[in-house]
């Protein structure tokens, strides 16, 4: 069995990161570090008026995510295991999509300073889905602060995520096409995912039912 002490689960909004983090951490007897997106006071305002509130939203997220990542750095990973529902670098993906050129230049200076102290995962699980499927999931879960999300925004995020993870090589990665899987309701799906990640030998592998 691979030594997986720090696992990060990633994917565009609506991919099911937090739900999978919770069930997988239970299966692997791991602790969890979850994003605190609902605490961002600018998030709903951003979805309603992206240009006006993008920088405020991004800086709040950056500092919140950094603080949570520092909690991981303080955990004794030789004796513990932790799973998170995000990868720190995701913050920069969102920043590139949402910020103006000048805003991003300032943001990137702050990000570069903070990123030095962020631990690197032993494995990244990237949950991949079509923009249509993601948008449908977002609508179905009905979070109030997400009601103003536009489909075009999910399309842009999906393109940015796919481009980033196509080139990502900082950690081994299991890419999971979530279509056809139900990791919450079907224990066999979760067992399959668990087997794939602990037996992953190559730098990246795709798990798909298509």
Structure tokens at 15: 């991919």
Half-sphere exposure (Cβ direction) of 50: Cα atoms closer than 13 Å: 13
pLDDT above 70: residue 2: no
Q: Is residue 201 part of a domain?
A: yes
Find out whether 58 is annotated in a ligand binding site: no
Q: Write out pLDDT tens, residues 178-200.
A: 999 999 999 999 999 999 999 99
DSSP strands (E only) in the chain? 6-11, 31-33, 82-84, 123-128, 173-177, 204-207
Catalytic (active-site) positions: 85
| Average pLDDT along the chain | 93
- What mean pLDDT is predicted for residues 23-43? 92
Q: Is residue 1 part of a domain?
A: no
Domain span including residue 13: 6-207
Q: Write out pLDDT tens, residues 57-70.
A: 999 999 999 999 98
pLDDT above 60: residue 147: yes
Q: Is residue 166 part of a domain?
A: yes
Find out whether 17 is annotated in a ligand binding site: yes
Find out whether 130 is annotated in a ligand binding site: no
Q: How many domains does the chain have?
A: 1
Q: Write out pLDDT tens, residues 101-114.
A: 999 999 999 999 99
- What mean pLDDT is predicted for residues 40-62? 94
Q: Is residue 48 part of a domain?
A: yes
| Percent above pLDDT 90 for the chain | 82
Contact 134, 14 (CB under 8 A): yes
Assign residue 51 the CATH number of its domain: 3.40.50.300
Q: Is residue 23 part of a domain?
A: yes
Helix/strand/coil for 210: coil
Q: Is residue 142 part of a domain?
A: yes
Q: Is residue 182 part of a domain?
A: yes
Q: Is residue 135 part of a domain?
A: yes
Find out whether 140 is annotated in a ligand binding site: yes
């Amino acid at each position: 069995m691979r030594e997986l002490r720090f696992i990060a689960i990633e994917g565009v909004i609506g991919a099911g990161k937090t739900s999978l983090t919770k069930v997988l951490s239970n299966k692997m007897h791991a602790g969890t570090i979850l994003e605190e997106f609902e605490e961002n006071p600018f998030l709903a305002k951003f979805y309603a008026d992206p240009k006006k509130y993008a920088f405020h939203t991004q800086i709040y997220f950056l500092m919140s995510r950094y603080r949570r990542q520092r909690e991981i750095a303080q955990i004794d990973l030789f004796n513990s295991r932790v799973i998170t529902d995000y990868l720190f670098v995701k913050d920069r993906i969102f920043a590139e999509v949402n910020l103006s050129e000048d805003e991003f230049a300032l943001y990137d200076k702050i990000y570069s300073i903070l990123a030095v102290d962020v631990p690197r995962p032993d494995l990244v699980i990237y949950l991949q889905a079509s923009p249509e499927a993601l948008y449908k999931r977002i609508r179905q879960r009905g979070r109030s602060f997400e009601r103003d999300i536009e489909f075009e925004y999910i399309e842009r995020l999906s393109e940015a995520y796919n481009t980033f993870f196509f080139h990502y090589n900082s950690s081994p990665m299991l890419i999971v096409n979530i279509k056809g899987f139900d990791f919450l309701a079907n224990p066999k799906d979760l067992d399959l995912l668990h087997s794939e990640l602990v037996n992953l030998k190559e730098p990246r592998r795709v798990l798909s039912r298509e």
